[in-house]
Structure 1
């Protein structure tokens, strides 16, 4: 089994430590992982903004770069869900290999690797950030609006970490307000949603907000920095890999 590590462009540019943590986590779990150097944006920003011709070009390139790997794994629920849910429509005359083989990293570790222990410790209290794409498109946790038993893959994985305390905020899977283009076009609403979300995390008494989407964490971290709040953000791969 060979895994290709997909690092979204904004993670590569703004959160390179998350890319390294993702690589180290997979290596520590014994995965044969490679990083295809020709990779670039998956096309999500263009697709979300309505420029589907540009998104289709990037989708074709993505297909070429990641063809032939058993799995394509990335630390971003939104980018992974874009590949999985939209490439078939963007490339109607193309057999989309990556669409059938792409996984968000927590989804991959939880569902495919299925570790029973991790040799890491994180003696801190963390509040889970459940992103919209992760919850409602990838099933990383069960949506609160559905009458189903609660499950959370991020919480399951953090449960393998020694000394950690995991809590969740009130309205645990309500949107933080980022939403890509929404944050640009409706910045006032986006900002208020973000402040509300951060304050619910703060109310838990947690030291860290931990999630699987850097975009959500980036949005909330901007609010934390501006308002000088006593809480930090971390991508879950940093904790699971011990690269904090």
Structure 2
């Protein structure tokens, strides 16, 4: 098992959801894995690439590769950012990435595939439904890794989410540029979450949980959002 990893915390965890980064460290350290946080890390460049700024995205990709090259594995609590690094860096950098993209893992992937662990010694009371975010589902293909981890959490009851694979409507700038369509997609997702009867909805991406959480609050819903890392750290 990898004994030392570099933590890529992501922009959202750094600026809005630091508890997700802390939870990721807590889970890894509980398993005896040493976690380094290179303070010079910045954005992975996904936002720039998606918004039509390939030159800026390339600069950030090169910086990422340089900073995380020394680590045997890079772990991030974001399926979206991990997918960008793994799938798009080779194109952005013309293959000049070494094997850093292939050593970059979303948390559930790292735990189940690299560390070979499903039960991380967690306990969580209540019912939880899982929303498979688009990048984790379609680009990373994490499969059942997150639900296997959730199933192993003591006290947690995992309930099915109707139409789980439907997008929540966030999509980064999509939610801003196509607000009406995004809101309609979100409404369908919120209805499915509430129909599940779960106390909380869990995902691998803070971005989607931010979008879903805002919608739930506006509806006055009692369902709360929780990142996979936070469940596993509990």
Tell me the TM-score normalized by structure 1: 0.92
- Aligned position for 1:71: 73
Counterparts of 1:191 and 1:14 in 2: how far apart (Å)? 22
The answer to whether the 8 A contact 2:7-2:35 is kept is yes
The residue number in structure 2 matching 1:41 is 43
2:219 corresponds, among 200, 205, 227, to 227
Matches within 5 A, 1:195-234: 195-234=187-226
Measure, in 1, the Cα distance between the counterparts of 2:168 and 2:11: 21
Q: Tell me if structure 1 keeps the 8 A contact 2:111–2:118.
A: no
Q: Which moved more, 1:89-98 or 1:100-109?
A: 89-98
| CA offsets 1:184-230 (integer angstroms, 9 cap, x no match) | 11011101111110110111110100011111100011111112111
How far apart are 1:175 and its partner, in Å? 0.5
Distance, in Å, in 2 between the alignment partners of 1:221 and 1:24 is 24
Specify the alignment match of 1:28 in structure 2.
30
Cα RMSD over matched residues?
1.1
Aligned mate of 1:19, from 9, 21, 28: 21
- Contact 2:118-2:149 within 8 A present in 1 as well: no
Q: Runs of 4+ in structure 1 displaced over 4 angstroms?
A: none
TM-score by length of 2: 0.96
What does 1:100-179 correspond to in 2, within 5 Å?
100-141=102-143, 152-179=144-171
Contact 2:27 2:120 in 1 (8 A): no
Contact 1:83/1:99 (<8 A) preserved: yes
| Count of residues in correspondence between the two structures | 232
Stretch moving more, 91-100 or 156-165: 91-100
